Structure 1
């Protein structure tokens, strides 16, 4: 695939925000071949469209609860709510690892139809259930207790080792009777629909979203491994949502590269993006990836994007751990970069309740850091204090493929300058 990314020099004028489309990229979207995908993979307009297909499949198979992690984007709830599926939540740890014991209890009590796990920022989530426990391996605690010799219920006999746990006993999904479908949410990176790598290898359903990772106006994928389930092929997206996002990306390129400082132009592209999000927030589109995005995807240097994101992540990790001002009160959420991970961003937890102050200082220096995420009201702080604690201090620093080594040094300067200003204001 040809590399038609915009120049890093112009991209360094600001950090973060929606990815822009250069004139060369826009031309590629209007002509040429389209990317194709084999097997039981379906293209979708967005990650939410992928969840919509999964939610429809669950609803068609009968009523039942969908179990979600307590740390999640509010938009994840929308496709399931549109199908009137009951929702419940399981806990996560301070490192966003699955609270497997709480998940186990929720599965045993609620017997959900499906369990969703999120690979946060493209990193493999700790505690991911295995596919090893087939339905006929489900752990039946009553039968196992009845089979124990007298005097050994719950504990091994003195002097004897406890029997090894079976795969089913180690699997937190095994207590549901009929094992629930497992949904792997890979929308934050590291799975692009190719053969399973570091993530995406165990779910009955696996989904990703290209528009979070690449300069495409729409698009994502859903892979189905559920036996006997064939997802429908959807007509390509067209019309308002795609057109508004395409226009926003082209206008943003003009603002960054041709008319820097034109606030009317900046307002114009921001309005296009907001209008597109309002449309999908109103109702999740039921359509496939647009022809524009499929053509564009066929021209993008995805391997180069992966390399650049990994390089940029390492640059920030080395700087934060090397005693910079930013590192004085920001703790990286991930302290290493496993092979195969292509991260969405560089997430940190900001100490001392200073997250919002730091974010304002960064925005003043044109570094735009999103918060992943403000939690939905359905996740109550009293029930999930750890998830709310993370939500209150997390910040995502942009590291995407628009930025090269020189840009990252510029970003580090702005980060440290913002950190110093924040600390002075707190004194």
Structure 2
């Protein structure tokens, strides 16, 4: 069996004719209100939003478990001193500790990550503390598109800037959505070249048809919108510090080698976005998550980290930590060799980036295994994954 770990573009879609802009991108039921831009990568839009707000000095407070793309952007491109607040082993943030640190350090930027589509901590308390010291609050919803908070509002509705990685939820090779009320997000001139993405989609589709037990894909370890906004989407958004946008000058010794060209998604991505039906995607992800989580909870070889589904949550996947003799790395390798979907979010930070000295981050980088529950998974994926884990662990005991 081969199951791809993420939604992917179906090659047959490429023959379709583009027709307008996806309605859901301008629908407040699916995207938080405010000015927004669409990029190949969300970090490009984040740089644009922070530049427009004049960020360029001071401290950035970031969760101790954070991706290097975010930490590197703040440290290298904006010259901010990165400091960390705690993240527990179950991917939750102790809000009191974060708020206390905000009050003491008075940062320029605060980043709050909603891990795997679940609301992290008390966003309102963090937002109030950030606002009191004049900090820009960034809600990183990379894996939280269409997901909602306990009060029913969308993830990303509270912060000054919200970022979403569309390719982690939708069948597109590129797509970073940035929502930033009151912020100017100008449009990149260049469009991403996506011919290679189309070739990869053909390869993945062939693997699924073959139903191969051992994929030949090389394993790679992880080291309210308005009409006027919609009109600009296909011409699209930002220049930022990676182009010719406004904002404080970058430090010449730290940014030249880390710039990401500002581009908008290409035709493959646009066709993929037009195929998306948010309500169907949410329903499918919730059903797959519920099924897989229940099966994994019955295994004594795993600790399930992500919670049962709450109303409105659009989950990315089930987060687990292997127990006993089998490491997350070994379990990941064994699952991928069987063609089953699994990810490790190691998020290794570069040598020139400040490192957290605390707080569960090292354990999460080493032991968190994510079992995706995306909408293109076949019904047989959940029982096969659970049974494969049981057998893999039994063989190594």
TM-score range, shorter chain: 0.7 to 0.9
Q: Is contact 2:301–2:322 with CA below 8 Å preserved after alignment?
A: yes
Q: 2:19 aligns with which of 21, 32, 56?
A: 32
Q: 1:254 aligns with which of 191, 197, 206?
A: 206
- What is the match of residue 50 of structure 1? 45
2:87 corresponds to 1:92: yes
Stretch of structure 1 that moved more, 42-51 or 199-208: 42-51
- What is the match of residue 237 of structure 1? 191
What per-residue deviation string (whole Å, max 9, x for no partner) do you get for residues 238-264 of structure 1? 23xx33333322322233326958987
Flag structure 1 segments of 5+ consecutive residues without an equivalent.
Answer: 1-12, 134-171, 272-280
Q: Which has the larger radius of gyration?
A: 1
2:361 corresponds to 1:387: yes
Q: Is contact 2:63–2:86 with CA below 8 Å preserved after alignment?
A: yes
Deviation at 1:310, TM superposition (A): 0.9
Q: Is contact 2:174–2:269 with CA below 8 Å preserved after alignment?
A: yes
Distance 2:106 2:59 in 1: 8
Change (3 A) 1:204 1:263: closer
Distance 1:368 1:316 in 2: 12
Aligned pairs for 1:160-199 within 5 A? 172-173=129-130, 178-191=133-146, 197-199=153-155
What per-residue deviation string (whole Å, max 9, x for no partner) do you get for residues 194-242 of structure 1? xx834222011111011111111101211112x4x32223335323xx3
Q: How many aligned positions are there?
A: 347
2:12 corresponds to 1:17: no
2:302 corresponds to 1:307: no
- What is the match of residue 317 of structure 2? 345
SS at match of 1:366: coil
Change (3 A) 1:302 1:44: same
Q: Is contact 2:141–2:162 with CA below 8 Å preserved after alignment?
A: yes
- What is the match of residue 294 of structure 1? 270
Q: Is contact 1:34–1:295 with CA below 8 Å preserved after alignment?
A: no
Question: Which has the larger helix fraction?
Answer: 1
SS at match of 1:121: helix
Distance 1:392 1:258 in 2: 33
Flag structure 2 segments of 5+ consecutive residues without an equivalent.
Answer: 27-33, 221-256
- What is the match of residue 104 of structure 1? 99
SS at match of 2:72: helix
Distance 2:91 2:42 in 1: 21
Deviation at 1:317, TM superposition (A): 1.7
2:337 corresponds to 1:364: yes
Q: TM-score of the superposition, structure 2-length normalised?
A: 0.77
Change (3 A) 1:298 1:125: same
Deviation at 1:291, TM superposition (A): 3.9
Deviation at 1:127, TM superposition (A): 2.9
Q: TM-score of the superposition, structure 1-length normalised?
A: 0.72
Moved over 6 A (4+): 261-264
Distance 1:27 1:337 in 2: 37
What do you get for the CA RMSD once the two structures are aligned?
Answer: 3.0
- What is the match of residue 374 of structure 1? 347
